[in-house]
Structure 1
Amino acid sequence: MINIRIAIVEDDSQCVKVFRELLDKYSQKKNYNFIVEWFKNGMDFISDYEPIYDIVFLDINMPHLDGIETAKMLREQDNNVALIFMTNLVQYAVKGYEFNALDFMVKPLKSFDLEMKLNKAIDFTMSNHDRSILLNMGDVLKKISVFDLLYIEVINHTLIYHTEKSVYKVYGQLKKIEEELVNLNFYRCNNSYLINLRHVMEIHGDYIVVGKDRVPLSRRKKKEFMIKLAEFMGQQL
């Protein structure tokens, strides 16, 4: 299951309630785990903004700082996040395309419409943020997606790449691949495992659930790992 981080910037609590219910239905249908953070206005959202979100749903009509001004400030800090405007009137959404909006939704929200927008936004997120690793497996060169990579394990001098569907073994050093993935949200939970934080599902006393696997969490690394995970999840832990 893949984690998708979503920010909802919306002053109407009833709209957000409906939004969360629709997200839950989509999550069950598509097998995504949505990490959702709600901001009641544009100022709260943008004042301490960090580029940790995959998708931002932004209401246009809000008090204090409207969606258009919020989008302008957002793009000054993050030009990559998928931005979708929400509005009662279609003509207001046109202005949003000046700020590289991916799409817009007309309220009240409908299940089918949200599903279409999410499909588009998730495809955009994966293509925009994903990278590939080329593994030299003797006579075969295998290209794997960093987005789909759960974790990397090292045993002696063998690197074992665990994805949701397959496992690949190649000769190499974990330290070297760690340096390549340091800016792509991979972090060590002990000396032998490099974890894709996007796929962390649960934390227990001495192990982490990554995808469907249990990976040991060392006492020495636990505090630092938890801090990194909290930063990645947008302080959701």
Structure 2
Amino acid sequence: MFTLAMAEDSHDDALRVKLLLDRCIDEGLSQKCLRSYENGRELLEHYTDDVDLVLLDIDMPVLDGLATAHAIRKLDTTVSICFMTNYGQLAPEGYAVDAMGFLIKPITYRSLYQMLKRAVERSARRRTHLIPVKQAKQTLFVDANEIAYVETERKKTVIHTTRGPLPCSESMKAIEEKLAGHSFFRIHNAYLVSLAHIQTITPTDALVSDQTLPVSKHRKQDFLAALTNYVGKTI
């Protein structure tokens, strides 16, 4: 089931999207679930990790589309976001939140169909790599492919991603279990590294995403075997 979350304060515009969505399903796209909200704040209050595409009206009361998109990106770094707008000069703001694009009102069947088709394809790739991570009272969703390494120190865990460090409220062991099957290796009690992000190795260290991390002596042999096996599969 492909799930869309839409924030649109105009009843007429929301109804139009629902009718066009029904037509998209009738003409070949897979079954979909649409969750409709009247503003961005309401959408955020009900946001869950199974959302595949977020449709946001730009001009809304309470919390507008751009502010909502920035808040979503703090919860979910990879979900597809598309803006709905009467204006065509908002591209720079959209790039800031990695938006897929814009649907210009009145939204047409063709534009919605093409956007949905792209989002469905993107979601199929995204779902296999997304992991939930707890941060205080909220849950974030991180693409395993973007994680370079995980570090723990004094009972604090930090996930280092290509977008920057992400402190979390879970133990190293819990994160390691979630990343099982994603080509990660525990090179040290304090470090879990992505084999895909290893740049070089020395007798005592590994360079991961430009950071030099120590490799425990008793883990070195298994680490090299895991790295060799990973490289062999990717060649």
Q: TM-score, normalised by structure 2?
A: 0.53
Deviation at 1:92, TM superposition (A): 2.5
Residue 50 of structure 2 aligns with an amino acid whose one-letter code is I
- Contact preservation (8 Å) 1:60, 1:93: no
Match of 2:65 among 57, 64, 67: 67
CA spacing shift, 1:99–1:21, aligned 2, 3 Å? same
- In structure 2, runs of 5+ residues without a counterpart are 130-176, 179-235
Gap regions ≥5 residues in structure 1: 132-178, 181-237
Q: RMSD across aligned C-alpha pairs, in angstroms?
A: 2.2
Give secondary structure in 1 for the equivalent of 2:27.
Answer: helix
SS in 2 for 1:118: helix
2:52 aligned residue: 54
Quick check: which has more Rg, 1 or 2? 2
Q: Distance in 1 between matches of 2:33 and 2:114?
A: 19
1:43 to 41, 44, 51: 41
* 1:11 partnered with 2:13: no
Runs of 4+ in 1 over 3 A off after TM superposition: none
How far, CA to CA, are the matches of 1:28 and 1:47 in structure 2? 31
State the partner residue of 1:158.
none
Looking at structure 2, the residues matched to 21 and 30 of structure 1 have their Cα atoms a distance apart, in angstroms, of 15
Superposed, which structure 2 residues align to 1:1-237 within 5 Å? 3-130=1-128
In structure 2, the residue corresponding to 1:90 is in which secondary structure?
coil
Q: Distance in 2 between matches of 1:107 and 1:90?
A: 10
Identity between Structure 1 and Structure 2 (%) = 31
- Give me the whole-angstrom Cα distance separating, in 1, the residues matched to 2:29 and 2:109: 16
User: How far does residue 64 in structure 1 lie from its aligned partner after superposition?
Assistant: 1.2
Question: Residues 29 and 117 of structure 2 are in contact (CA less than 8 Å); yes or no, is this contact kept in structure 1?
Answer: no
User: What amino acid is the match of 1:86?
Assistant: M
CA–CA distance in 2 between the matches of 1:85 and 1:31? Answer: 21
Which whole-Å deviations, capped at 9, do the CAs of 1:101-158 have from their partners, x for residues lacking one? Answer: 1111101110111111111111111122237xxxxxxxxxxxxxxxxxxxxxxxxxxx
Q: Aligned residue pairs: how many?
A: 133
Task: Provide the rounded CA distance (Å) in 2 between the counterparts of 1:16 and 1:54.
Answer: 18
Q: Residue 121 of structure 1 aligns to a residue in which SS?
A: helix
1:45 aligned partner, one-letter code: L
Inter-partner Cα distance in structure 2 for 1:130 and 1:48: 23
Equivalents in 2 of 1:4, 1:31: separation in Å?
10
Q: Counterpart of 2:63 in structure 1: which amino acid?
A: L
Query: CA separation in 1, counterparts of 2:19 and 2:102?
Result: 19
Query: Compared with structure 1, are the counterparts of its residues 122 and 98 closer, same or farther at alpha carbon in structure 2 (3 Å cutoff)?
Result: same
Contact kept? 2:56, 2:81, Cα under 8 Å: yes
> TM-score w.r.t. structure 1 length?
0.53
Q: Which whole-Å deviations, capped at 9, do the CAs of 1:33-82 have from their partners, x for residues lacking one?
A: 11111010011111342222011111111011111110110000011211
CA distance in 2, matches of 1:26, 1:75: 27
C-alpha distance in structure 2 between counterparts of 1:94 and 1:67, whole Å? 14
